[in-house]
Structure 1
Amino acid sequence: MSNSDNKTSEQQWRQKLTKEEYRVCREQGTEAPYSGKLLHNKATGDYRCTCCESLLFKSENKYDSGCGWPSFDAPVSNEAIRYIEDNSYGMKRVEIRCAQCDSHLGHVFPDGPVSTGERYCVNSISLRFNDKMDIQN
């Protein structure tokens, strides 16, 4: 699917995604902590949106925060991520979404490493990993 998925209908998303991908990416769900397949991934490569394949994060920005979800200290660019104030569940947080297709990724917190001070806490199911060995360019 192309990176211009702003016009994809909910019915089309339901057909494209698994039930769990749809729940997390389109309904702002959360996968269980420590359950995601990319949590302990240490390979070199790119992390892309599950829904539209837009480039979101690079492996050099991934680190182990101990929070139970893949964590990054920065996205590939500020334009790759959409930031939304989230006051659900009695908490004040900032939700992060794919800027291209509006897929829910997770949240960003101001308790990251010294390099940026930010922790992008992302659901594994919201991401597709492309190993550097498979990347052209």
Structure 2
Amino acid sequence: MQDCFHDGAVSRFGGNDGRRRLGLSSTRKAGVVLATVSGEIDLATARAFAQHLESTLAGPPNAVITDLEEVAFLSSSGLAALQIFAHAANSAGVAFCLVSAQRTVLRHLQLTGLDRDLTIKHTVADARTWLCGKPTPDR
């Protein structure tokens, strides 16, 4: 299997309310950003989540993997942020893959129909395999 990932920059953000309700980190390797999210994405944290997603398009990368495996709650505000980001990534020619096997997260994606619009994989390894099979855009 082809290795699409090499050493890259890392950035981390914590919740701004002192309770760390939302954890955000990103790593950029060989043109692919892995954005890892943990905690709760609700009305109070959705803005920080959306801003973090938007920041991953700087560069721009060839692809963004957003890992929601450690997300305990995903509100309609978080779903809207994902939908807006997916559109922005598509407009920029950036491949986007969401990672989650969390039943609560997947259920919200199904109820809203976003599961039909987004590429969703159960593990980061599956997302990497999917991305390695995609053609790299000319930049």
- Normalised by the length of structure 1, the TM-score is 0.32
Higher helix share: 2
Higher relative contact order (CA 8 A, sep 6+): 1
- Normalised by the length of structure 2, the TM-score is 0.32
